[in-house]
Structures are given as C-alpha cells and as structure tokens.
Structure 1
Amino acid sequence: MEGADITLHPEKFCRQNSGAGLSLDFEPKQEYVFVETLQERYKCASCHLVLHNPHQTGCGHRFCEKCILCLRERYENPQCPIDKENIKAQEIFKDNCCKEKVLNSLCIVIRKDLENHLTTRCDLRAETCAYCQKSMTSIDLQIHTQKYCPLYPVSCPNNCGFLAEGGGKCVKRGKLKLHEETFLRDHMLYVLNRNTKLEKQMFDLKLSVEQKESKIQQLSNTVKWCEKECRQFGQIGNNGSHLTNVQSLSGYMEKASWLEEQVLQLVQLISEEQSRHDFRPLKEAIESMKQKVSSMEGYRDRLDILEGQSGKHDAQINIHKSQLSSNEERFRLLEGTCYNGKLIWKITDYERKKKEAVDGRVVSIYSQHFYTSRCGYRLCARAYLNGDGSGKGAFLSLYFVVMRGEFDSLLSWPFKQKVTLMLIDQSGKKNHIVDVFKADPHSSSFKRPEGEMNIASGSPRFVSHAQLENPRNACYIKDDTIFIKVAVDLTDLEEL
C-alpha cells in the first residue's frame, strides 16, 4: 500500500531483497508502506494493493497470486475486472520482473496480520444486491446492477413518459422489453386504425352507390311495367265496353300517381346524397393516382437498368481502389521501415484520433513495423490515445509488440533485449518522457509469435493527458502531431 507523511527512524527503512539469503518474496504477516508513491502498474488489478507474488494475464494486467487463484475458483470463466477479457489459465505466468521492481522499492515494514488484511480489504468479499437480493462479489455487483439485474429501475429508451408502479417514469429491466413491445403495438394500432377508418369510408361510399344503382334499376323496371300496362290499356280501350275502360283507366291513373310519387322521392334522395358526397374529387384523385403509378412503373424499369450499370461501375471502381490502397500501403511500409532497432512514429491528427478513441470507434492504433536488422526481429508499437486498463480515460497507454517475421526460425527466442519507450519533446529542451524495461523471458509477450503478433507489453499509464496536452517546460503536441520513439538495445544481439 502507499504511505504519506510518516516520520520514522531511518534504520527502519529497508529494501525487501537487500539482505543476503532472502528469497524474492514478501515476509509473511507484514504490511508494507512505501516511502515513494507506488506506481499503478505495481498494484493488483483486483484488490488494488501492492502486488504480492505478481502474476500477469494474457490481457497484460497483473494480479496477486491469491487474487488470481480466488477469481479462478469462484468463476468458471473468470474475467479481468479492468478490460473484461476472459482470463485463460494457459496465458497466466509469474511476473518476476515486476516482482523484483516492487521488492527493490524503499518501504517501511509494519507488523500486521496480512491474511486478515487481504480478507477484509479485498474487493472479492460478498455483497447483496439491493433490488433482487442476490449475493455476489462487490466486483460483480456493479456489473450486475448496470447490465443484468431484472428488478433494477431503468428509463424507457423511447422516453415515452410511461408511469410505472409507484408513479415513477421508470420500468424494471426485466419488463423493459415487454414495455417496448406494448407501446410499439399501440403505435402500430394507431396507424392501422386510421387506415381502417379510410377503408370503411370507401366501403360506405361504395355501398351507397350500389344502393342508388339498385333503386334506379327498380325505377327502370317500374317504368317498363308501366309502359306494358299502358299498351294493354290501349288494347282494352279498342275492344272493351265503356264502363270497363273507365274502371281500368281509373286504376292506371292511381298507379301512375303512385309511380310519380316514388320517382320524385328517389330523385330527391339522389340529390341529397350527391350534395353530401361529391364523388368527382375522389374520381379525379383516383385517375391522377393511376397515371402517376403508370408513370412510376416506367421510371422503375429505367432505374433497374441504371442500377445494374451503376453496380458494374462500382465494382470496377472498388477493384481499382483496392489496388491503389494496396500499392500505397506497400510503398509506405517500404519508405518507413527501419532496420537499426529504432522507430520514430509520427502520429498526426491527434485530436481527431483521440476523439475516436474516446467514442470507442478506434480504441488503439499501430505504428509501422521495424526490424533490429535486415534479418532481425520484426517489431512495432501500439498506442491507446484514451488509455487502456488502469490508464483508461486519463492517460496515453504505450506498448511494445513482437510480430511474426520472415526470419524467426533463425533467431534466438525468447526476445530478451532492453526496450526504451519515449515521447519526444518538440520544444528542443529535451524534456522527453521515457520508460525503459527489459523483456521478461518468461512472458508470453516475448516468445516466438505463433500468430501475426504477440500480446503487447508496456505501460498503461505512460503519460497523463494533463501532462501531454498542457506541459510546463515542454511541447509534446505541435501542429496536432506527436512523435514517439521506440529503441531496442542491440547489445549482445547476434546479427545474421
């Protein structure tokens, strides 16, 4: 753990591995207060205390031996609490290089029950979710409430103002999907109801027209019947007696009066319906729509032909673009490749690339590769402009990467050289920011690559954004550009 403003006798200061015959480990049941501020890279990613017998995972983060064992015992598929990467047993190794740096730090020894300290302070202690009452570790509790707890109150993403139980504008996460489906159905029903009303109006108009046509047909049949009766009456008038003719005429006059009354009622009814429902605008709209549909069908055929031609042109353009991009990349690599173990990496458009990293679109960027010699190790650098792991959000993280090369079968493995990472001061005052480390031969980051490249190794808290962007006696960003230098110590390195 870190110490602050502690006054003790000088003889109580010590280095952990300074005595002869001592093993490279902490003494049991003791707590260590470091005189100088201990860097974050030497703290456990789980309990956040000084690393005790450090082990490194495949994602590049370090854990105490007990913390990593505890994670593996508690979870079938343990995850790193920093970057949520799966922790694979075959990628875990003892980090003796880190262990040596920690044990060489000047510290004050305080007698204490270390086992009880780790048990009470460790972030793996059990806690209970306030919503679903499930018991879990404090590490998982925050993830559980933010992503998985079905009773955790969340706001509707559609911001619909739905009032849940108790009058709040939130729903339980487990009911959120049902809530969205319910309101989506209401929106769809509203549109369907509008369409249904329009269809009903059209149906009523069609039914009214059919009724009018039916009444007109009835009137036509009545007129035909009347004509037939009149012809019969003419025949009777020529052949029958006067009394019979008068009686028949009287009956036909009554029928004619009734028929005239029916015709007048029908004409009045038709006039009223026409005044209420003027079909001419509807017919004109229908005819106009028919013409537009016919015109659009013609345009559609022409568009299909044009789309086919455009697709062929796009395919040819994409082929040319791919060839140009491949050639440009090849020329860039040929021009920028170094064979002396040194790399000067120019990162332009710093603000834009950092914003892309903050937004999560392009989290990290790689440099061009370089070699220790013409037939030497193939290497590159990797930078996280918005930080990685413990440095995420406040630091620039810088890593060194061993890549698969053409001459790996002739080289000595693992890679053992000293590496210097440097952020160059462009003001000329040479206030460079430097981090030097020696490759750990036991780390999987420096074995012979089986894939395109090994796991990156370096500094997640290389330089803070505050120091990078607002330096006091230096200039690290100029013309929206920064320069990073990577140098490999070629001492004792045999050249093929």
Structure 2
Amino acid sequence: MSSAHSNTLAQESSINDNFSGPESRFECPICLAWLRDPVLTSCGHRFCRSCMDSWLERENPSCPIDNTKLEKGVDIFPDNFTRREISQQKTKCPNLVRGCLEELSPLDVETHLLTCQYKPPELPENEKLRCAFVEFGCEDKFEDEPELQRHLEQYIHKHLNLLSQAYSKFTINSPSTSAIAQQANFWDPPSKNDTSVSSNHDNVNGLLKALYEKAVLLEQKTREQDIIIANMSEQISSLNLSMSKMHLRYCNGCYLWYFNDFKNKINAMRNDSRIMHYSPGFYTAANGYRLCIRLNLSPKDPNYIAILIHVMKTEHDNALDWPFSGRLTITLVHPLQPFHNIKETMMTRPELDAFKKPVQDMNPKGFGYTEFALIEELFSQGYVENNHLLIKVQAQPV
C-alpha cells in the first residue's frame, strides 16, 4: 500500500470542501459551506442569510471578518448577483465513482443524494443495530448510532408501553404478602387497655418492628453512601478533565488521536460530504502553538480519506511568532505491523493563510493531504482495529 495517493501533494484546504469544492467567493465564512440565500454586509462581506441572522442575535453584533458593527435590517442586503452565479455552477454527484453522471447545482446535491439510485447500499440485516428495547418487543433496526439515538429519543412513550406490558406479565404469589399487609401497622404501639394480645402476637410484632427499624437505618446509610459516591465521582471527573487538558498542553506537539466508530462515521460522511471530524486541540509546548487534526472524505475522490492540520487560537498568541513555521508529520499507525505505518512529513509554507495568526477559535484553512489513504485498504490491510483508527501527528516549530 502506498503511503499516500501518488498524485496528491500536501496542500491547503478549506474546512467545508464539497465534492467539487466551493471557490472562496462562494464560501460562507461562518458555516464554511456554499452560500445559501447569500447576503452582503455594508462592509463588503458575504454570508448565508441564516448564518448571519443567527450571528446577529449575539450581544453587540459585528461582522465576523473585520468586527464592523452591524445592525439587522440596515447593514444587511440580499446578494442576488451571487445567488445567480452559484445557481449557474455545476458539480458532479458524489456517487460518480458508483456510476452516477448527474451534474447539478452545489445547493441541490444534498436533496439529490436522498434519491440517487447509485447511493451506497444499506447494511445487511445481520449488521444493523438493534433497539435497546428489543427484548421487550421493539423490532426496529438502524444503519448507524445517530439514527438509533434519534429513535430512542422520539419513541419514549412506545418503549414505556412495552415495559409496562412486560411488567404486567409478572405476578407475585408470595404466601407471606397478605400476612405482612395485615401487619402494616406493626410499628404502632398496642393500646394500653388491650390486654387480649397474646404473647406470641407480641413477639411477632416486636420482630417486625425491629426489622423495620433495621431497614430504615440501612436505607439511611445507603443514601449517605450514595451522596459520598456522587461527590467522589464528580471529583474524579473533574480530575480526569484536568489531566486530559494537561496532557494536551504538555504533549510537546506529539498527539495520538484514536478515531473511534470509524465504520459508521465513514458511512455518514459518504451520505453527507459536509461532515468533518476534528481532534481536541493540542500544543507544541506549554505556551506554544495550538493545533488540531481534521479528517473527512477527499473532495476529489470519496474513496480516500483526507487528513489536514489546523492552527487554533490560544490566550498567548501575541507572544508567538507568526506565521507558524515548522515541520508537520502525519502517521497512520498500523496496530500490529509498525513497518506498515503510513507516514508523511511536510514543511509549512508561510505564504499560505493556513499558518497565519488565527482570528477565531480555529483557522478555517487547513494544510495536509486531501487523498491520504484509500479507505478500502485501511479495512483490508488491518489499519482499523476494534472499529477505530489511530492517527499520530508530530508538530515541530522551527
């Protein structure tokens, strides 16, 4: 297996490259996808209408690009010229590799994929996920975990009814139940004038009263222990979070990303080419540059995965040298045969926007390989173990 696609070089890539990739003038700086119902600001920047409406709901709204103060209804105008330009753009269906020859507007790709006759086949019945309430009678099956989660959230009443029906099938026929019910007031003291109670009856009542008091004490201790355990769990979670953040800051630019649920995430990205996955941000030093890894399907060939690096904002960016300059190494780790690791090293290019000082939490431009490895070979040659892929990135500033 080649270490990376032979015709693919390290290159700069936008966050939301579609199958054909929008030009920068057709890309919304907020959602980083094709402009939908484009609007133009008084300071000369274009955005999707829905993205801009959401942005202006913030306190003291301003332009995301240059922080110019904006007022809804005054500084926002429809951009019909750009809308016509986008509608005239044509792109091929992402299922081109499976035989679909449709050419359509980029904004119509998502709708077309729902009915495309060349879309990937559904999973076999024996590989589909089953509902967690299958033992109580729910027979629904699902293609992936997000679909299963939506089912669980939408059909709560259905599952409660199944549980109720299952519970009604159980009956309790304990001979002591009625006797205990008759002694429901066993903890009440007997009347002072009642002299007809037998000693045997007194012994039973005394025993039941002692058992009841013991149960109350045990319940109280259980509640106290539950509170202690809850507090300890909260402290452990807080400690784990702190350790995780410490690991990201002191990893010295060497980060291991365990990309879990690989199969389902690949299927989801095939259905929606706009889906992208990002690693947590990691640092080249305690007060160094902050970077993250991005994985998505290649916009040129969806049979390949793309792996790129993004520069992220930190609280100490003013103390760093910009643009970021250094060496970046990306490695796909083979879990059993290290000599089969896929490793690529590239030097940063200071003239690219990808390495400039970020003005938002993450630089929207990434740098890396748009066709890093063939998905089919990742499965067939054992790179995917327990449905996760291990990606190692080393960043060394120079």
TM range (shorter): 0.3 to 0.5
Q: TM-score, normalised by structure 2?
A: 0.44
Q: Which has the larger helix fraction?
A: 1
The higher relative CO (CA closer than 8 Å, separation ≥ 6) is in 2
